[in-house]
């Protein structure tokens, strides 16, 4: 599909006050206060000083002495480092701009953009197109987000960067795996009885190949701020800061598993992307638990749990106690991001964050819990570069969603969330990202700043049914309150563009607004594996029909199979565990 192209504009650069003088004055003032306090000390009193005081004095003295040496050494090295930077840049041509700002809107459709611009509903997009340029671009093949954004960051096609889809098959088991990331246990585990003690860090690997362009900029000492660009987990090292996005897991290691606690008796305990926890009501009290990461210390790796209790105080209202926190719940209103801790013994435990949404108190009790996400204050996995950057963002603007796919489309598909509750998640995620983006704009005076917003993609996936009269999911809708959700979202993004343009008014700044792919209606799908079976390329076991994740396939008779959104894979001998296709015959089979 085509995508709306980037646009460019020139803008005015804002100055930044020099705070060095203020810090030096503050340091001198602190020293003066210390001298005055010492001068005002009364006559010494007799006291016993034990030998421990001597050790404290010596170690404290060593800390200050070594810190002073490091500071002096850094000061002496500064001219050489400055000279080295000068020599590195001396051979480079003089840059035409000082700052490049790229705003990405995942899934922004050129057809809708043109229509809304023609209707006068996107004045800032229209102004940007008139002042700079506006072109439709060819997306990648296939035109799905992980592929397209990987091509954006590396400047290469899928055969170079190795990302073809969201998923790929495990060559040993044929089970689906994330195409971009591997998360494995530490290399060494110490076994003591029934306990398992991991030694070292988990094995985290980014499977995208080729270098992102901000890494090349880093070679030339150019700073980059990269915010929520897909396929950047785990984060790579470069000159700048980065917050990872798509494919960042939740605390359980999945791509987002919600929980639904209910007193309703249902046959369905499992949903795609979530799970149901059946609870009992004892008077006005409901006790349940959150499911956390696996306990890697014990045999079987059972999941850790975090208990909580809900007391219904009145119709539509309740009080939730979890750990040492008490939260007031109100029907159809999300709580703030809440800290949760999964204890695994006497240690500090594993920390995460989530939000609670009370759905019903009468006659049945229903409580939705977002996927439990990595706590940015104390990340269980690296989600930023440097690691402290995630914490800086949390301390400066509050807790925020860290999950790669933060908007819970599965909860809406399962009809546990309604339109309103899902839209809240989308608007909240974009709002959190706006805060990070505009903070970066104020700080990055030279270099690159990239931020990707996901709301358009997620809302179009779930609300296109309202703008397509022939959509099969349009019939039987319970309401039409959010018929214009897509149009309203485009208007909000137009406002964001306008505020961004106002911060880019100097001639040394270039602004680009880009999208990775367009959008269209999804009315029907094709099951590739059924087609492959009917045409003799795939064979099922006698009892294989209906089994999940290709578990019913007879691999000894299967030449090709479908997996993911757009892929047909060949069962190659020597590559797949039970491959039967000779590599020399692969081209003809394709």
C-beta of residue 247 within 8 angstroms of C-beta of residue 168? no
What CA–CA distance (Å, rounded) separates 311 from 322? Answer: 12
Angle, helix 485-502 to helix 455-463, in steps of 10 degrees = 170
State the pLDDT at residue 27. 33
Digitized pLDDT (tens) for each residue of the chain, 590 residues in all: 344 333 333 333 333 333 333 333 333 233 323 222 333 334 454 444 455 555 555 556 666 777 788 878 778 887 877 777 666 666 667 888 999 999 999 999 999 999 999 999 999 999 999 999 999 999 999 999 999 999 999 999 999 999 999 999 999 999 999 898 888 766 666 666 666 666 667 778 899 999 999 999 999 999 999 999 999 999 999 999 999 999 999 999 889 999 999 999 875 666 778 989 999 999 999 999 999 988 766 555 688 999 999 999 999 999 999 999 999 999 999 999 999 999 876 667 889 999 999 999 999 999 999 999 999 999 989 999 999 999 999 999 999 999 999 999 999 999 999 999 999 999 999 999 999 999 999 999 999 999 999 999 999 999 999 888 888 887 655 556 888 999 999 999 999 999 999 999 888 999 999 999 999 998 888 999 999 999 999 999 999 888 888 999 999 999 999 998 878 999 999 999 999 999 999 999 99
State the pLDDT at residue 181. 87
What's the Cα-to-Cα distance from 366 to each of 240, 281, 338, 358, 436, rounded to whole Å? Answer: 44, 11, 19, 6, 34
State the pLDDT at residue 32. 29
What CA–CA distance (Å, rounded) separates 13 from 285? Answer: 58
What CA–CA distance (Å, rounded) separates 6 from 513? Answer: 4
State the pLDDT at residue 13. 36
356-360 and 136-138: which strand pairing? unpaired
SS3 assignment for 165-187: CCEEECCCCCCEEECCEEEECCC
If we measure between CA atoms, which residue out of 250, 235, 227 comes closest to residue 106? 227
DSSP-derived secondary structure for 453-484 = E-HHHHHHHHHGGGT-TT-TTTTT-S--TTTT
What's the Cα-to-Cα distance from 170 to each of 309, 386, 477, 576, 581, rounded to whole Å? Answer: 40, 31, 39, 8, 17
State the pLDDT at residue 82. 73
Query: What is this structure's pTM?
Result: 0.82
99-105 and 509-514: which strand pairing? parallel
DSSP 8-state code for residue 530: H
b/e sequence 209-221, b meaning 16+ C-beta within 10 Å: ebbbebbebbeee
What CA–CA distance (Å, rounded) separates 464 from 146? Answer: 21
State the pLDDT at residue 19. 39
Query: Any idea of the CA torsion for 42, 44, 45, 46, to the nearest 10 degrees?
Result: 180
């Amino acid at each position: 599909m085509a995508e709306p192209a980037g646009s460019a504009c020139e803008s005015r650069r804002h100055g930044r006050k020099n705070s060095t003088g203020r810090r030096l004055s503050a340091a001198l003032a602190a020293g003066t206060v210390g001298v005055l306090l010492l001068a005002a000390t009364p006559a010494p009193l007799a006291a016993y000083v034990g030998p421990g005081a001597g050790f404290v004095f010596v170690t404290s003295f060593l800390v200050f002495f070594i810190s002073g040496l490091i500071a002096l050494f850094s000061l002496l090295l500064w001219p050489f480092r400055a000279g080295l930077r000068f020599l590195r840049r001396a051979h480079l041509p003089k840059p035409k701009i000082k700052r490049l700002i790229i705003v990405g809107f995942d899934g922004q459709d050129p057809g809708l953009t043109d229509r809304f611009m023609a209707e006068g509903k996107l004045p800032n997009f229209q102004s940007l197109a008139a002042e700079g340029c506006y072109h439709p671009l060819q997306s990648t093949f296939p035109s799905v987000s992980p592929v397209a954004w990987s091509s954006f960051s590396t400047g290469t096609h899928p055969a170079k960067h190795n990302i073809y889809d969201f998923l790929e098959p495990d060559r040993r088991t044929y089970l689906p795996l994330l195409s971009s990331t591997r998360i494995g246990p530490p290399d060494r585990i110490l076994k003591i009885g029934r306990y398992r003690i991991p030694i070292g860090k988990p094995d985290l690997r980014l499977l995208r190949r080729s270098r992102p362009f901000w890494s090349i900029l880093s070679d030339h000492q150019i700073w980059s701020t990269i915010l929520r660009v897909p396929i950047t987990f785990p984060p790579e090292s470069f000159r700048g800061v980065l917050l990872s996005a798509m494919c960042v897991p939740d605390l359980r290691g999945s791509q987002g598993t919600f929980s639904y606690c209910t007193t309703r008796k249902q046959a369905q305990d499992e949903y795609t992307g979530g799970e149901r926890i059946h609870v009992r009501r004892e008077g006005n009290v409901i006790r349940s638990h959150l499911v956390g990461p696996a306990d890697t210390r014990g045999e079987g790796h059972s999941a850790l749990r975090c208990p909580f209790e809900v007391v219904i105080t009145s119709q539509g209202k309740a009080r939730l106690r979890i750990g040492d926190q008490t939260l007031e719940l109100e029907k159809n209103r999300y709580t703030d991001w809440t800290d949760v801790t999964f204890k695994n013994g006497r240690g500090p435990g594993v920390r995460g964050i989530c939000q609670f949404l009370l759905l019903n108190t009468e006659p049945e009790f229903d409580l939705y819990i977002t996927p439990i996400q990595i706590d940015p204050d104390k990340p269980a996995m690296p989600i930023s570069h440097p690691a402290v950057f995630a914490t800086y963002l949390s301390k400066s603007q509050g807790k925020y969603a860290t999950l790669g796919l933060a908007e819970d489309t599965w909860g809406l598909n399962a009809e546990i969330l309604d339109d309103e509750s899902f839209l809240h998640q989308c608007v909240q995620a974009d709002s959190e990202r706006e805060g990070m983006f505009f903070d970066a704009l104020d700080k990055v005076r030279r270099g690159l700043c990239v931020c990707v917003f996901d709301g358009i993609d997620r809302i179009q996936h779930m609300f296109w049914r309202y703008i397509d009269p022939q959509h099969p999911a349009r019939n039987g809708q319970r309401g039409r309150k959010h018929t214009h959700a897509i149009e309203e979202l485009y208007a909000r993004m137009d406002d964001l563009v306008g505020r961004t343009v106002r911060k880019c008014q100097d001639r040394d700044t270039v602004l680009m607004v880009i999208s990775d792919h367009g959008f269209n209606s999804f009315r029907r799908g094709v099951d590739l594996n059924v087609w492959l079976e009917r045409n003799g390329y795939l064979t099922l076991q006698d009892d294989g029909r209906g089994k999940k994740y290709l578990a019913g396939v007879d691999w000894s008779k299967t030449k090709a199979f479908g997996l993911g959104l757009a892929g047909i894979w060949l069962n190659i001998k020597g590559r797949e565990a039970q491959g039967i296709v000779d590599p020399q015959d692969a081209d003809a089979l394709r």
